[in-house]
Amino acid sequence: MPIRPRVLVAAVTTLSLRPRLERCRASLVALLQPGNDACRDLVRRLAAHVHADVPGVDAAVGVIGAAEVALHGRRGAAATPREIAAADATIGVCSAQVLAQAKQLQWIQWPAAGVERCVQQPVMRERHILLTNLQRTMGPSMAEHVLGMMLVLSRHLDYFLKQQQQGHWANDDGPQGLQLADLEGKTVLVAGLGGIGTEVARRAHALGMRVTATRASGRTGPDYVSYVGLPDELLKLAKDADFVVNCTPLTPQTTGIFNKEFFATLRPSAYFISVGRGRSTVTADLIAALESGKLAGAGLDVVDPEPLPPQSPLWHLPNVIITPHVSAETAVAEVQRNAVLVENLRRYVAGEPMLSGVDIERGY
């Protein structure tokens, strides 16, 4: 029999549901952990655009109408203790305080790929709370971001853009050693062959690159990956890589794995791309490798810490591209995130298996 869940949702602003959603008996309040923009945008789009943009809208509207929704946010009145205590599910809420109060909680939908702040909560294991995320919805967009960084670095487009801004035709008078390179024939090592890493591998192979990878769950992989190794083979595989792409989730095993020893293993001509988690990289070791010429360059969408302080040397190194954790912020990825959220709401109400389940023990 379908259930009638009470869903606790994180959001930054109070929502005004459109007429087709008005039958949702909602308590709309506003409080959210600062910086949870992904959840804010997800919920805003769910409320404002589910009627137009998401496939299966009739089922989605039915789901929303069958749920009692409380928004737990940063402005205005917070969700009441009674609402939290009665919640069956949360979207974007995973704090120890809320988990301690939400005794009925069965499911948490996290509005991003990385779930380290959830899996570190002991009650997740103690109470066997179901955790789902949005990892696979972000893979294609993040993979294109990776390929963009690889092309900019290998073709030195950042240098030529600066010359363009100065009106300088830099044909024969570029810096010594400036040499454009093709991606075809190069080897890329994808560290973390999950939902994101697989999409990186697919696109790299399409450009004629040789793809190797590591993954914690085993040695199996798609046909376009030449070799899949276990995490303890990272250094061995890194020796032959022209590019290394960090797609790993943040777990105790992946924290700090891109360190002095790792960078010393790479060829001086190699590039490091990071879209996984910033804390997988020891920032001081990365800076030292770049400054010493032991690493040709880096493309960083994630760093440690975030935001990156203005005084960080990374901002001023000529062979570094930095984007502020935006590799999945595209319109296509947003529609896919909304679709998974709505589908998981529908499945939860119907008592069906959920999409994108997280293994709490593994941390991803």
The answer to whether residue 114 is domain-embedded is yes
CA distance 19 to 50: 12
The answer to whether residue 78 is domain-embedded is yes
Q: Does 16 or 234 have the greater pLDDT score? A: 234
- Contact between 36 and 92 (Cβ < 8 Å): yes
Whether residue 150 sits in one domain with residue 287: yes
Residue range 310-323, pLDDT digits in tens:
999 999 999 999 99
CA distance 138 to 332: 9
The CATH number of residue 168's host domain is 3.40.50.720
Whether residue 309 sits in one domain with residue 189: yes
Mean pLDDT throughout 226-230? 98
Phi and psi at residue 70, to the nearest 5°:
-120, 130
The answer to whether residue 363 is domain-embedded is no
SS3 per residue for 251-316: CCCCCCCECHHHHHHCCCCCEEEECCCHHHECHHHHHHHHHHCCCCEEEECCCCCCCCCCCCHHHH
Task: Please identify, among 322, 340, 358, the residue that sits at the C-terminal boundary of a domain.
Answer: 322
Of 75, 306, 352, 362, catalytic: 306
The answer to whether residue 199 is domain-embedded is yes
Instruction: Give the domain range for residue 31.
Output: 6-136+331-350
Q: Identify the pLDDT of residue 349.
A: 84
Whether residue 151 sits in one domain with residue 125: no
> What burial class does residue 136 get, using C-beta atoms within 10 Å of its C-beta: 0-12 exposed, 13-18 middle, 19+ buried?
middle
Residue range 157-213, pLDDT digits in tens:
999 999 999 999 988 777 776 899 999 999 999 999 999 999 999 999 999 999 999
Of 6, 145, 203, 277, catalytic: 277
The H-or-E segment that residue 96 falls in is helix 96-101
The H-or-E segment that residue 122 falls in is helix 122-126
> Is 156 a known active-site residue?
no
CA distance 328 to 164: 28
Residue range 121-143, pLDDT digits in tens:
999 999 999 999 987 899 999 99
Whether residue 230 sits in one domain with residue 157: yes
The answer to whether residue 154 is domain-embedded is yes
First-to-last C-alpha distance (Å) of the chain: 30
The answer to whether residue 358 is domain-embedded is no
> Is 83 a known active-site residue?
no
Whether residue 131 sits in one domain with residue 181: no
Share of the chain above pLDDT 70, in %: 78
Whether residue 141 sits in one domain with residue 131: no
The CATH number of residue 40's host domain is 3.40.50
CA distance 210 to 186: 6
The answer to whether residue 362 is domain-embedded is no
| Placement of tokens 């073709």 in the chain | 155
> Is 316 a known active-site residue?
no
| Placement of tokens 């002991």 in the chain | 122
User: Domains in the chain: how many in total?
Assistant: 2
Whether residue 318 sits in one domain with residue 249: yes
Asked if residue 1 has pLDDT above 50, the reply is no
Of 279, 325, 337, 346, catalytic: 325
The answer to whether residue 357 is domain-embedded is no
SS3 per residue for 137-184: HHHHHHHHHHHHHHHHHHHCHHHHHHHHHCCCCCCCCCCCCCCCCCCC
> What burial class does residue 123 get, using C-beta atoms within 10 Å of its C-beta: 0-12 exposed, 13-18 middle, 19+ buried?
middle
| Placement of tokens 């959210």 in the chain | 32
Whether residue 174 sits in one domain with residue 122: no
- Omega before 140 within 30 of 0, i.e. cis: no
Residue range 321-347, pLDDT digits in tens:
999 999 999 999 999 999 998 899 889
The H-or-E segment that residue 62 falls in is helix 57-65
- Contact between 134 and 112 (Cβ < 8 Å): yes
